[in-house]
Structure 1
């Protein structure tokens, strides 16, 4: 490509981009310090009219393999492309870092048909017949979901460990009820192998299950809740189970399971599948759970619209005689974010919110940094050395960010972080586009 042909467009893109980034960073900083009622009008992006032209340049650069020059002349940005993102975006979730040259992820929301991609040697490959992917919290065991069952492996493409049958959705439902198997029980919101290599945690819109070679056990909703739902129904109404905002997590040491849904409390079970803790949500609806890296605390998020409140509570070491809901207001670490994805590293929680920000806090809620990637965050992973952060969004974009490697002048946020690459994994595009 003759990049000199784009000098005029490049100069405008870069100069207006720098002005917008400086203005939005000052706007956010003032809002965080002085309150949002005092900040005035939000700065406006001025490059939306360039979106189609820049997308054509991105395509050309991919055809000629000139991604470094593309990033120099047209540094990646989110806001100017918002119209295209709304048209072409899709969820990038279940994102897993394998090694420096490989990653795997799922395209499509849990309620949609999904495609699993492997990125290796700078190429993207669709994994045939694979409906979903998961990994144990210690990073060792991978799970691949097929139509005929879910298989676990010792490392990526390692030796096969176990095969698990899908649940039917009928688990925990009294046998005298006339209920058909639920197709949604084969969907995947979360798929997490236990470090013990013997079990899987499967979360979907029909419930939270623990799968073993002996079958599936429902953890949520429990029998009492199901019975209450049944009693509230009309006698001839078909019965099915549907939960919203379903979520689940396993601690790195495999000793704890945290989960919940829109109408539940924040729940913690031990590895023996006995209830251990029940925490009261500090916002309307339980939405997300994440264990600390040392497995001593668990972060729970509850949401209201696009905002939320997060608590980081200690894990008890004994099972209480009665699992009653505990007050959690003294453990609040954030009162802004609705969280969709996250990782823990050292003493830090790194989470992605509904507004497109990646945020880092200590376990006790001390602010570390924030970084704007744009669009609701849908998937996240961190490399074992804590240097590479992968972030997927509902805008159909996958970001590779190098942490603590020097500040990127074209990124919105704080912290010494730099994006190495982003990929546009968009509907109606002939290929995945690197940027």
Structure 2
């Protein structure tokens, strides 16, 4: 490519990009420091009219393999592409770092047809007949979902460990209220092998399940809750939950889960109830264990906002639904969280507004970084240096942590994006940027 042909466009893109980043950073900083009532009008992106032409440049640079030059002349940005993202975006979730050269992820929301990709450097390969992928919380065991069952493996492409049957969705439902297997029981919101290699946690719109060689056990909603719900459902109407979520601690000792109509729930490894915590906002939405297995972060949402609490996992004789002793504390009172990781003493999460945020496990704010769109998937390398982020805008980001930042960065902290990929509907190929 002759990049001199794009110098005028490039200069405008870079100059206005720097101006916008500076202005929006000052805006957010003042709002967080002094309160949002203290800020004036939010700065506006001025490059939206450039979106179509810049997308053409991105396509050409991919055809010629000049991604380094592309990032130099047209540094990646979210705001100018907002209309294209609304048209072409799709969920990039279940993102897992395999090694420095390979990443696996799922394209499509849990209620849609999904495709699983293996990314090797800049080359993408569809995994045939695979509808979902999962990994154990300790990073050692992978799960792949096929039509005939879910299989677990010792490491990526390692030896097969177990095969699990799909649930029917009828587990825990008695009588003739529902007699046909539920189609959504084969969907995947979360797919997490237990570190013990013998079980699998499956979360979807019909419930939270533990799969094992002995069969499927429903954790949520439990039988008592289902009996209550029967009064509001017509006979034969399928059971469905919203905002379903689940997590397993790295040591495999704890399971955290919930849904829109539950509390924050914790079980021990034997599936006995350990504790119940009331949400600090309207609807339980997400759970994330700390890296050291001592705490769990629970998020509850209200519209696109939310409140996150951190709670201890010390053993108790019976569960407590009052929690008036101060053992819990609010980590954040702004975010609706969709994805996150923990590493060292930090929770790193992605929110509904496109920000990645980090807090210590004791509640101190560390940094934030804007990538745009609702965050839908996240993983971190074992050494804590590479953060992978997928979004509902159809983008996959590879971010190097604590290695410096550039003048186009929106956020705080010394982090820099190494690459992003546009995995968009109706594009002939996945585009690197």
After TM superposition, the score normalised by the length of structure 1 is 0.98
Task: Name 2:190's counterpart in structure 1.
Answer: 190
Matched residue SS, 1:413: coil
Deviations 1:374-416 (A, max 9, x none): 0000000000000000000000000000000011221100000
Please name the residue that 1:227 is paired with.
227
Q: Using the alignment, how far apart are the partners of 1:382 and 1:178 within structure 2?
A: 41
> CA shift at 1:178, angstroms?
4.4
1:372 alignment counterpart:
370
Partner in structure 1 of residue 288 of structure 2: 290
Give 2:251's aligned residue. Answer: 253
Checking the alignment, whether the CA contact within 8 Å between 2:170 and 2:178 is kept in structure 1 is: no
Q: Does 1:434 align with 2:432?
A: yes
CA distance in structure 2 between the aligned counterparts of 1:425 and 1:160, rounded to whole angstroms: 30
Matched, 1:60 2:57: no
The Cα offsets for residues 90-127 of structure 1, whole Å up to 9 and x where unpaired, read as 00000000000000000000000000000114310000
Once residues 348 and 98 of structure 1 are traced to their aligned partners in structure 2, the CA distance between those partners, rounded to angstroms, is 21
Aligned to 1:352: 350
Inter-partner Cα distance in structure 2 for 1:224 and 1:134: 30
| C-alpha distance in structure 1 between counterparts of 2:211 and 2:325, whole Å | 31
Candidates 396, 404, 407, aligned match of 1:406: 404
CA shift, 1:323, in A, is: 5.4
Q: Is the 8 A contact 1:266 1:286 kept in 2?
A: yes
Partner of 2:421: 423
Deviation string, structure 1 residues 1-47 (Cα, Å, up to 9, x no partner): 00000000000000000000000000000000000011010001100
For 1:250-289, what per-residue CA distance to the aligned partner results, in whole angstroms no more than 9, with x for missing partners?
A: 0000000000000000000000001000000000000000
The aligned runs of 1:16-415 (5 Å cut-off) are 16-234=16-234, 237-320=235-318, 324-327=321-324, 330-415=328-413
CA contact (8 A) 1:276 1:316 kept: no
Cα deviations across residues 321-352 of structure 1 (Å, max 9, x unaligned)? x5535358751110000000000001100000
Pairwise CA distance, 1:214: 1.4
Structure 1: runs of 5 or more not aligned: none
Distance 2:236 2:167 in 1: 20
Aligned-pair RMSD on alpha carbons?
1.1
**Cα distance in 2, alignment partners of residues 232 and 13 from structure 1:** 55
Q: Distance in 2 between matches of 1:92 and 1:353?
A: 14
1:159-184 per-position Cα deviation (integer Å, ceiling 9, x unaligned) = 00000000000101114544211010
Change (3 A) 1:62 1:166: same
CA distance in 2, matches of 1:405, 1:266: 36
Aligned partners of 2:14 and 2:306: how far apart in 1? 34
Tell me, which stretches of 5 or more residues in structure 2 are unaligned? none
Question: Is the deviation greater in 403-412 or in 175-184?
Answer: 175-184
Change (3 A) 1:8 1:178: closer
Distance 1:178 1:308, change over 3 A: closer
Residues paired across the two proteins, number: 432
Is the Cα contact below 8 Å between 1:275 and 1:323 reproduced in 2?
no
Deviation above 4 Å: which 4+ runs of structure 1? Answer: 327-330
Q: Are the aligned partners of 2:205 and 2:241 in contact in 1 as well (CA < 8 Å)?
A: yes
Alignment partners' CA distance in 2, 1:230 and 1:325? 28
- For 1:55 and 1:300, the matched residues in 2 are separated by 39
Instruction: Tell me the CA shift for residue 318 of structure 1.
Output: 3.7
| Helix, strand or coil at the partner of 1:263 | coil
